[in-house]
Amino acid sequence: MLFSSVGLLGYTIPPRPELVFPEEETRKSLESIDIYIVFTDGPLTSLRSYFLAEMSESYQQRYQATPLFGGNATYVETLYEQFLENPAAVPAAWAEYFRGFQAALGGSRDTPRGPVEQEMLTRAGTQRVAAGNGSLHPEAAQKQAAVIKLIESYRDRGHLRARLDPLGRHVPPDVPDLDLSFHGLSETDMPTVFSTVSLAGPDRMPLSDIWSMLQDVYCGTVGFEYMHVSNGEERLWLKDRIETSRTHANPGSEEKLDILASLGAAEGMEKYLHTKYVGQKRFSLEGGESLIVMLHDLVKRCGGMGVQEVVIGMAHRGRLNVLINVLGKSPKEIFSEFEGVYDPKIAEGSGDVKYHLGFSSDVKTPHGSVHVALAFNPSHLEIVNPVVEGSVRARQDRRGDVRGESVLPVLIHGDAAFAGQGIGMETLQLSQARGFYTGGTVHIVLNNQIGFTISNPHDARSTPYCTDMAKMLEAPVFHVNGDDPEAAVFVTRLALDYRQKFHKDVFVDLVCYRRHGHNEADEPAATQPIMYQTIRNHATTRSLYADALQQQGLVTAEAANAMAEEYRNRLDTGKPVAPSIAAHVPNQFTVDWTRYQQHRWNESVDTRLAADRLKFLSDAMNRVPAEVELHPRVARIYDERRKMAAGVIPMDWGFAELLAYASLVTQGYPVRLTGQDTARGTFFHRHAVLHNQKDGSTYVPLELVARDQKPFTVVDSLLSEEGVMGFEYGYSTAEPDALVIWEAQFGDFANGAQVVIDQFISAGEAKWGRLCGLVLFLPHGYEGQGPEHSSARLERYLQLCAEHNMQVCVPTTPAQEFHMLRRQMLRPYRKPLIVMSPKSLLRHKLSVSTLADLTHGRFHVVIPEIDKLSPTRVTRVVFCSGKVYYDLLEARRADKKIDDIAIVRIEQLYPFPHEEYAEIIKLYVNAHDIVWCQEEPQNQGAWYEIRHRLQDPLLAHHRLRYVGRAASASPAAGYAQLHKQQQSALIQEALSKGALTVPAAVRENIKTKGVSEKA
Ligand SMILES: Cc1ncc(C[n+]2csc(CCOP(=O)(O)OP(=O)(O)O)c2C)c(N)n1
């Protein structure tokens, strides 16, 4: 194509003779312009650079991003050729238009200026030949233009007529521009030779050949969608690969027999389980057996393409098949899972059903072995996607692979799930973002055209294809008929090559069917009677392919049967059946998880820093080169940090936190912190990334603490919770040596990622034995900011706690934060850490620490009373967590008369510090009034989750009671005044003697909201 044009209204005559580039962003202005000429993908660089120079930068960018191009290109191009030949041959408005830009180029028809016109004229000559009369007849030119349009139509929409449905049930939509007549062509034009322009193959061909090539390439058993790829280089690469190969991989006979063997394995394994474990759920792959062929080929080729590791994420459908036939899991193990054998000697945790389990192995390929891992997966469809990406990124980081070439993510989706689950979009959005880039993912949609019971696409989605979301990334999509395994191999190769070359996502939509119900106990005909009539009569992919190979004389029926028989016999032995599984040989990138096993949460660890080390680190983290001009407010923060380092003023949270990171990266632990606005800190407190006010460049002091330090990564994430938290979970389960932190902007937003918390973070170890040291920072505290910025929903995390599965901490001082973060890495123990992190405490005058707290302290799970009270005078002990402590402390200090109420902070709510708590109780021998005070409503916060633990060591004379907000449907009051009243009421109540002093009006206010105070 010489140049492309954007036409919104079809073949409209240009309204103006000059080049028109829309400067307005609005749709209105776009629509008011009939046609825009934009630059070429082709070799005509002079024209291209002319256009580029003419276009404003913003328009160039917009052009690059718009899908509205290409439609009129060939038409305009042909007209221009005609014009060069004979200006009178084109409509007057066009002639004027072309003269306009010729003038702009400084040339004319008589004195063509350069290769642009020269090539145009050459082509016009070609066209004359096509017309057969030595001159460019207008009608011939019109036909030539029509042929070019026809080719473009096939590239664009040929997939709509591709034969994709193995069941043959799909009714293709009406696509008029794929017909000759739409373009003014007919059967009588078939013998005419036309210029093929950019179509692969000869420069000129009879229309009949062009037509059959278009049918073969674009309407065979593969439907290609790639014209939405706006990057010209990628689009041309795809076009060339697609058109030159004519769809099929053209495998040799050995490869064909390999394909047959893979299909035999895929089918054989399901049939085996079907007869051996009748009616048991296995989520059979049958109908989609080509998936195994694709994965075999993909892994095999990875070896030769520099891919060292492949991480696969997939749901239940076909998982057992992939485990046995691709990853080489021993059938014996799977059989025992079918038999539900539970051996407490072997089993760790509470386990999971067989079709959720992960596995990994080394697969031998002609170019060395490739480590293949299948991620553990909960039932929640698609949620494994970001987890796989995070795991891949960790592996790439470990290898120092910034382009993402050595580790490949492969995501296998269900058609209904991919179209429906929002996490699919979030994961795609991560794809090229700096902190989450993995060099592109190969996606395979196991499109069995049914989602549980939905087979009508109109019920399952609002777009034509289940893959349509891929287009938001401009990812190419190759739809392939599952009954054509050779085509499936071809598109898999194309996908892998594209990913390795362009480092972007790519999709293969394997259109297949589901031979049984949703699971094997299910009756599909109840809801899909007609579809299943067809399926019952439809031969398997293996037998269809075996027949095809028989016809080609490559195999006999007996040999094909013998192959199947032999596979069954191998399964009978229970030994691994996958081809080429190598013994796993650990290398320098293999993680030794045994280091983290068999440890207890309360093993002590020294988290202190020597004073000289502290000085060295704080100097480094506060160092800002002279050429970096800071914003005055940031400069003040850094000035203050320098004073903190010198011990001149007390230390705040930002200082302590960054110092913890500085210490860890110089002790061999990479630090990775992501979340929304995390680099600066939502509360303007972190400023880990400095922005030079002179030129906008950035400077990250923690990247430059010491020459041999580990990476410090802090990235503002996209505005996603579920996707990003899933990614960080995946990262931390693959990289135990890194401190991985996900930060919520406000703690309650984490509930958008509830699946990740419930299905992975809290239960991953119990279900699958996967260790994870992920830290969640969840800003929490009642400061009158309303229902959505107060509570991180502490109660939910505590409710998930059992078997020491994770830690829930509420640090109240900078030093606690420092020691807690260091403890998280220095202990040989990896458990998720949920932190109710501070908001107003970040700048609270009492919530400060000293350098001595870092050089001498540790993380205290309980912080005893800090004022000098006589223990024997104490009659009440108020226990609390978090910010409310300072409200209580200030109120007590303000009331000089109170010297008998101790206030104790529980800084770690889980695992609960039983011993430390019991010691406090013992210390205050005269205290019988034990209070739990919290800011959260009674049905929320810690109370109901820890009440039994608080009660545990108490004796008969003790009385445990609750002080806090009444139970409430909403986490916090929206009215600032109501908030204040509630807050001061609960503080007063916690410190009051005798009768409650809470103002009646406040109590009334709470009651009228319809909840009892002590639910
Ligand atoms: C998030 C989520 N919602 C609902 C389900 C229940 N469910 C399991 S399979 C399935 C249908 C999935 O259809 P599709 O994605 O086409 O995959 P297939 O099972 O057909 O292979 C549903 C709704 C689930 N597992 N996860």
Q: What is the pLDDT of residues 218-254, one digit of tens each?
A: 999 999 999 999 999 999 999 999 999 765 567 899 9
The CA 530 to ligand 1 mean position distance, Å, reads 21
Q: What is the pLDDT of residue 714?
A: 98
SS3 for 26-90, per residue?
CHHHHHHCCEEEECCCCCCHHHHHHHHHHCCHHHHHHHHHCCCCCCCHHHHHHHHHHHHHCHHHC
Residue 712's SS3 state is: strand
| 289 backbone φψ class: left, alpha, beta (φ>0; ψ -120 to 50) | alpha
CA of 213 from ligand 1 middle (Å) equals 39
CB contact at 8 A, 998 and 989: yes
Name the pLDDT band for 79 (thresholds 50, 70, 90): confident
Nearest-atom number in ligand 1 for the CA of 447 is: 16
Region 276-297 average pLDDT: 93
Within 13 A of 642's CA, how many CA atoms are on the CB side? 9
Give the model's pLDDT for residue 1011. 35
Residue nearest to atom 24 of ligand 1 (CA): 380
- pLDDT over 90 (residue 116): no
Neighbour tally for 64: CB within 10 Å = 12
Nearest CA to ligand 1 atom 23: 452
**Per-residue pLDDT averaged across 343-354, rounded?**
72
**Ligand 1 centroid vs 753 CA: distance in angstroms?**
19
924-945 pLDDT per residue, tens: 999 999 999 999 999 999 999 9
Axis crossing angle, helix 290-303 with helix 485-502, rounded to the nearest 10: 40
Neighbouring residues of 595: CB distance < 8 A, sequence distance ≥ 6: 736, 828
Among 40-44, 483-487, 856-860, which is the least confidently predicted range? 40-44
Q: Taking residues 674-703, what's their average pLDDT? A: 97
Angle ∠(271,274,277) on CA atoms, nearest 5: 140
Give φ, ψ of 64 to 5 degrees: -60, -35
Element (H, E) at 699: strand 698-699
pLDDT band at 393 (very low <50, low <70, confident <90, very high): very high
| Pocket lining: 417 vs ligand 1, CB cutoff 6 Å | yes
Mean pLDDT of 105-109: 46
Does residue 416's CB lie within 6 angstroms of at least one atom of ligand 1? yes
Lowest mean pLDDT among 117-126, 252-261, 295-304: 117-126
Residue 689 and residue 621 in contact, taking contact as beta carbons nearer than 8 Å:
no
- Select from 282, 314, 352, 381 the residue to mutate for testing ligand 1; criterion: most ligand atoms less than 8 Å from CB: 381
For 108-122, 321-335, 502-516, 691-705, which range has the lowest pLDDT when averaged over its residues?
108-122
In the predicted model, what is the mean pLDDT of residues 838-842? 96
Other Cβ atoms closer than 10 A to 747: 27
Report the C-alpha gap between 152 and 158 in whole angstroms.
9
In DSSP notation, 764-814 reads: HHHHH------EEEEE---SS--TTSS---HHHHHHH--TT--EEE---SH
Rounded distance from Cα 420 to ligand 1 centre (Å): 10
757 lines ligand 1 (CB under 6 A): no
Distance CA 904, CA 881 (A): 8
* 90-94, 141-145, 350-354: least confident range: 90-94
| Tens digits of residue pLDDT in 558-615 | 999 999 999 999 999 988 898 888 878 888 898 988 999 888 888 889 999 999 999 9
Residue 288: CB within 6 Å of ligand 1?
A: no
782 in Cβ contact with 884 (< 8 Å) = yes
Nearest CA residue ID for atom 1, ligand 1: 380
Name the pLDDT band for 997 (thresholds 50, 70, 90).
very low
Task: Please tell me the least confidently modeled range out of 2-6, 215-219, 722-726.
Answer: 2-6
* pTM for the model: 0.87
**Model confidence at 857: pLDDT above 60:** yes
User: For 643-678, what is each residue's pLDDT tens digit?
Assistant: 999 999 999 999 999 999 999 999 999 999 999 999
Atom of ligand 1 nearest to the CA of 518: 19
Residue 121, pLDDT > 60, answer no
Q: What is the chain's Cα-based Rg?
A: 34
15: pLDDT strictly greater than 70: no
Going by alpha carbons, the residue nearest to atom 22 of ligand 1 is: 452
CA–centroid distance, 288 to ligand 1, in Å, is 16
Please, which pLDDT band fits residue 49 given cuts at 50, 70 and 90? Answer: very low
Q: How far is the CA of 417 from the centre of ligand 1 (A)?
A: 6
Tokens standing for 609?
Answer: 């820093």
Buried b (16+ CB within 10 A) or exposed e, 115-127: ebbebbeebbebb
pLDDT digits (tens, 9 = 90+) for 779-824: 999 999 999 999 999 999 999 999 999 999 999 999 999 999 999 9
Least confident of 82-86, 234-238, 705-709, 859-863: 82-86
List, for residues 480-506, the tens digit of each pLDDT value: 999 999 999 999 999 999 999 999 999
- Write down the residue that tokens 């009178």 correspond to: 88
Residue nearest to atom 10 of ligand 1 (CA): 452
For strands 506-511 and 581-582, give the pairing: unpaired
- Measured from the CB, is residue 415 less than 6 Å from ligand 1? yes
How is residue 674 annotated by DSSP? Answer: E
Q: How far apart are CA 245 and CA 213, in angstroms?
A: 11
Give me the chain's average pLDDT, please: 87
Over range 853-879, report the average pLDDT: 97
Instruction: Report d(CA 6, CA 11) in Å as an integer.
Output: 10
Distance CA 802, CA 947 (A): 15
Distant-in-sequence, close-in-space partners of 508: CB < 8 Å, separation ≥ 6: 294, 442, 443, 444, 445, 477, 478, 480, 488, 491, 492, 495
pLDDT of residue 74: 55
Q: Average pLDDT, stretch 682-694?
A: 96
- Structure tokens given for 143: 């036909």
Q: Is the C-beta atom of 459 inside 6 A of ligand 1? A: no
Q: How far is the CA of 974 from the centre of ligand 1 (A)?
A: 39
Which of the residue ranges 43-47, 132-136, 771-775, 871-875 would you say has the lowest mean pLDDT? 43-47
Report pLDDT for 474.
98
